[in-house]
Amino acid sequence: MILAPVLSEPECADAAAEIAARWGLPTQSSKQDTFQLWLREGVLALHWLESPQKMSPLVVDFHQGKAAYRAQHTQLKNEAIAKAVGVGGKLQPSVLDATAGLGRDAFVLAGLGCDLQLIERHPVVAALLDNGLQRAQQEADFIGETCQRMHLIGTDNLFTGKGFTHEPDVVYLDPMYPKTGKQKAQVKKDMQMFQQLVGSDEDADNLLEPSIARAKYRVVVKRPNSAPFLAEREPNSQIKSKKHRFDVYIKRGFNESTN
């Protein structure tokens, strides 16, 4: 796993040290660093020191860009992820996003009223996501209120069972899948940095069984349309979009008793 030190100007040293301590990251730079996290004026940014092209630092900012636009213009009928998770009418399932990444899919679900617990297994990405959520939650607007429904609980909670405020109705998985050829060339710059840092989830198959055990009602797995089923297990149903599909593993219907 590639790690990155948390660095800052002297006036932010205490805050940077707190971030490093929480996520188990170093606080000193070295000549071997491929990535560095820098904290400036409360904003944590990931710098790729060996970027093949000039690339802006990666920051999680829910108030900017396509994430903000999508959250404010989401229509339930147009969101395949909402259909897969089971959002509809008065039903707003609680969701555990066990591969939260930069929080983009979770942000959409939170915008539709779902309460989310987030797990991000890579500590560098978790630190970025945590910083983005904390900054967004301070704002008294729609996006701030949306992010109040997103709770980052840690990195290994799916396996340890620690840190949960409640058992989720739905577990959502979007493990990193290897990108090759033309597909790789089309990846946007911020995701190029993300993929270089995280790589593919080689143990993705191991996520399915604990997710099924954790979920009350269903597990939803986001996959490229060409990708095999996770753990070679055929889902109960599928919902397809242009580039991805959502494999749905159902334990019981939402209208059934949980007893």
Give the SS3 label for residue 224. Answer: strand
Give the SS3 label for residue 231. Answer: helix
What was the pLDDT predicted at 190?
Answer: 73
Residues 208 and 160 in one domain: yes
Q: Are 151 and 118 in contact (CB under 8 A)?
A: yes
Q: Report pLDDT digits (tens) over 246-255.
A: 999 999 999 7
Domain-located, residue 237: yes
What was the pLDDT predicted at 258?
Answer: 40
Q: Report pLDDT digits (tens) over 220-235.
A: 999 999 999 999 999 9
Q: What gap in Å lies between CA 193 and CA 195, rounded to an integer?
A: 5
Q: State the DSSP code for 60.
A: -
> If you search the block for the tokens 């799916």, which residue do you land on?
158
What was the pLDDT predicted at 246?
Answer: 98
Give the domain range for residue 11. 6-48
Q: Report pLDDT digits (tens) over 89-120.
A: 889 999 999 999 999 999 999 999 999 999 99
User: Which regions of the chain are under pLDDT 70?
Assistant: 71-77, 179-189, 256-259
Q: What gap in Å lies between CA 125 and CA 71, rounded to an integer?
A: 21
What was the pLDDT predicted at 183?
Answer: 47
What was the pLDDT predicted at 77?
Answer: 66
Residues 131 and 236 in one domain: yes
Residues 201 and 77 in one domain: yes
Residues 173 and 230 in one domain: yes
Q: State the DSSP code for 78.
A: G
Residues 241 and 185 in one domain: yes
